[in-house]
Amino acid sequence: MPIRETFWNIPHWAEIAQYIAAFLTAAVFIYGVIRRIQRWRMGRPEKRPGNFWNRIWSLVTQVLGQRRTLEEKYPGIMHFSIFWGMLVLAFGTALATVDTDVTDLFFGFQFLKGWVYIVFELTLDILGLLVILGLGMAVYRRYIAHPSRLQNFPVKKLAGDDLYVLVMLSFITLSGYLTEGLRIAVTQRDWAVWSPIGNAIAQLLLSLGDPTNQTLHLIIWSLHILTAFGVLISLPFTKLFHILSVPLNIYFRSMKPAGALPPANMENGMGVKEWKQFTWKQLLDFDACTRCGRCQDVCPAYASAQVLSPRNMMAKLDAHMWEKANGHSLHGDVVSSDELWACTTCHACVQVCPAFIDHVTTFVDLRRYLVDQGKMDKMLQDALGNLGRYGNSFGQSDRMRAKWTMGLQPAIKDARREQVEYLWFVGDYASYNASLTDVTRKTADVFQKIGLNFGILFESERNAGNDVRRVGEEGLFEMLVDKNSQVFAKCKFQTILTTDPHSYNALKNEYPEGDHGRPEVLHYAELLDQMIAAGKIKFSKKLNYKVTYHDPCYLGRYNGIFDAPRRVIEATGCELVEMPRHGDRAFCCGAGGGRIWMEEKEVKERPSESRIREAAGLTGIQAFIVACPKDFTMFKDAVKTTGNEQNFVVKDLIDLVAEAL
C-alpha cells in the first residue's frame, strides 16, 4: 500500500540533528519576530479597534485571495503562484511532520497512506511546479524585463535581499524535487507514478546506480533541509518577513474613512521628527513594504519630477528605523523636504498597495513637523498666512467672497438669515478665482432652475481646511473648523452641498458633529444624480457630445463617488468614453494636498498635462468633464500648454446640465 516513507535513507544521527536544528531554528525565528514587535512598540500608541470580522474577512480576500496583488496581471499571477505553491508545500511538510512525529511516534499509525497519500503526493508535486513557474516569472521580471519600479533602490543592500529570497525559494523547490527523484530512483515504488515530476527525474537518474543515488540523496536532502531552516531562520530578518508583516498590516489597517486623517502628534512639537514619533502601525507599515513599486508607478509626483517615490520613502524609513544610530531627526538625513512637499495626497499609492500601507498619513506627519519649524516655501507661507487672516488662500478680503453673486437674479439667499434646505458651501476657488466665476454663477443658476431651496454663507464661509490639514498645518485647520462650525451652528439647514471635492471631504469626514449630529454632506454630482433618478430634473435637450470624465481624487478615491457623476453625464445625453486611468486609478491633476499653493519645481511633465495628453489619446472626444473647481483651472491651463485647444474643451459637469436643461 502506498505510504509516506519519511526519513527513508536518512541515518538516525541526521534525523536527530534535524530535530535539534529545528528547535534552534524555532528559537531564532521567535527571537526575530519578537525583535520586530518590540521595535514597533517603540512607536506611539494607537488604537485599531473593532471590526474583527471585517478584518478577518480582509485576510481571507487579500491574503488567501490575493485580491489586490492580482489587480496587476503579471506580478499578480507571479506572486499568486509562489504564494499558493509555497503555502501548500509548507502545509504538506507540516502534515508529513505530524504523520511521522505525532501519529506514528505516539500512536503508531500513519495517515499518509493509501489514496490519501497519493493525493498528497500528486498535489505537492504539481504545486511545486506552480512555485517554479512563479519564481521563473519573478526572475525574468526582476532581472530581464527589469521594469523601472524595480530599479534604483535608495538603500543598496535591498537588491541583495531580493536576490536572496529568489535563490533560497528556488533552491528549496528544486532540491525538493531532486530529493524525491533520487528516492524514487532507488525505491522504485509502484505508486511513484503519482509523483509525476519526481518520477520523471528518477528515470533520468536511474543509470547512476543505487549506491550513488543513495549518497546523492543524503547530500541533497541535507542541503534541502538546511535551506529550509535557513529560510525560516532568516524570515524575520529579510524581505521574507513580509509573509508575516503584510497579513498583520492588512489586519490592523485603518477602518476609518480614507478621508479622515489621524490627528497630529503633539509631544515635543507637532508632527514627526524622529522615527519613534510614528505610531506602531506606521512602523509596521514600513516593515510591511516589499518595495514592489506599484505606488511609484501611480504616483503623480514621481511621474512629473521623480522627486518623490512612495516606495523609496518606505524603504528609507524602514532602513532608518533599524539602523543602530537612529535617534536623530529624519529630516534632511533620511527624507528631504522636497520629497515631502511633492506629495499631492492623491491617495493612489495607498489605493494600489498590496500591503495596505498608508503612505499619505506618514507624509503628512512628516510635513507637520516642517510646518511646526516654519520650513516651507514663500508661496505656501503666504497662502497659509492668508488663510489664517482672511480665511482664503487668495489673500483677498473675506468680504469679497460672495462678489461673484453680484447681479444674480433671483438673489441668493443668505443662509445665516433664513432657513434653507441646502447650505451651499462654495469653497475658495469657486468664490475667488476669476476664471471660475462664470461656472459658479452657472451653478447657482442651475440650482435655481431645478428648484433647490439653497443659501450661502457669504463672508462667513472660511476655507474648509482640507488641504490646510494635508499641508500639515493642524492648528490652522482646527481654527478654520472652529470658525465654520460656529457659523453652521447658527444656521438652519438640512444638507451641506458643495461643488468642491476637497471641502466635501473635510466636511464629511473630518468636521466634528454638531448639536444635531453630523449634517448630511452632498457633492453636487450626487445631488444632481439623485434628482435625476427621482425625476425631479427633466432635460429638454440631448447633448450627444462625446466626452470623457476626470475623477477628482477627493471625490473618487477618497469617498468612493464614481458612478454618480457618470450617470449625470449620461443623463444629459452625452457619450462617455473612459480614459485608460479612470475610477479609482484616475490620475491626479497635481493640485491637491496644498500643491496648488506651492512653488512649482522643475518638472518633466506636469501631472495635469500628462492627464490632458491621456484624454487627447481618445478619439473624437469634444469635452473633458470635471467636477472640481481646482480641476477646472488646472486642466484649462494644461489644455493650453499642451496645445489641445483645438481638440477639446474643459467643461464643468454643471455646463452639461445647464445646457441640457
Q: Which residues bind other proteins (CB under 8 A)?
A: 264, 266, 270, 371-372, 374, 376, 378-379, 381, 384-385, 388-390, 395-397, 399, 434-435, 473-476, 478-479, 599-600, 637, 640
How far is C-alpha 87 from the geometric centre of its chain's CA atoms? 25
Residue 368 C-beta: closest distance to other proteins, Å: 8
Residue 471 C-beta: closest distance to other proteins, Å: 11
Name the β-bridge partners of 548. Answer: 624
Amino acid residing at 81: S
Which residues 6+ apart lie within 8 Å of 376 measured at CB?
A: 337, 341, 370, 384, 471, 598
Q: Which three cell numbers stand for residue 527?
A: 445631488
Residue 599 C-beta: closest distance to other proteins, Å: 5
Query: Coil, strand, or helix at residue 522?
Result: strand
Residue with cell 541515518: 11
Helices in 236-394 by DSSP H: which ranges? Answer: 242-251, 280-288, 294-298, 300-305, 310-321, 337-342, 348-352, 359-372, 378-390
Smaller CB separation from other proteins, 206 or 379 = 379
CA dist., res. 285 & res. 310, Å (int): 12
Considering only CA atoms, which of 288, 330, 328, 336 is closest in space to residue 309? 336
CA dist., res. 487 & res. 505, Å (int): 18
CA dist., res. 342 & res. 257, Å (int): 24
Residue 479 C-beta: closest distance to other proteins, Å: 6
Residue 265 C-beta: closest distance to other proteins, Å: 11
Residue 277 C-beta: closest distance to other proteins, Å: 15
Strands (E), 447-560: 454-456, 495-498, 520-523, 546-549
Smaller CB separation from other proteins, 333 or 599 = 599
Smaller CB separation from other proteins, 37 or 266 = 266
Smaller CB separation from other proteins, 474 or 652 = 474
Smaller CB separation from other proteins, 230 or 388 = 388
Smaller CB separation from other proteins, 478 or 584 = 478
Smaller CB separation from other proteins, 371 or 496 = 371
Q: Which three cell numbers stand for residue 195?
A: 509523483
Smaller CB separation from other proteins, 255 or 266 = 266
Smaller CB separation from other proteins, 32 or 271 = 271
Tell me, what DSSP letter sits at residue 619?
T
Instruction: Report helix angle 210-234 to 12-41, nearest 10.
Output: 20
Residue 261 C-beta: closest distance to other proteins, Å: 15
Residue 491 C-beta: closest distance to other proteins, Å: 24
Residue 305 C-beta: closest distance to other proteins, Å: 12
| Helix, strand, coil percentages in the chain from 3-state DSSP, rounded to 5 | 60, 5, 35
Considering only CA atoms, which of 590, 364, 337 is closest in space to residue 477? 364
Smaller CB separation from other proteins, 93 or 435 = 435
Q: State the maximum Cα–Cα separation within the chain, in Å, rounded to a whole number.
A: 102
Tell me, what DSSP letter sits at residue 153?
-
Amino acid residing at 407: G
CA dist., res. 175 & res. 240, Å (int): 19
Residue 399 C-beta: closest distance to other proteins, Å: 7
Q: Which three cell numbers stand for residue 415?
A: 443662509
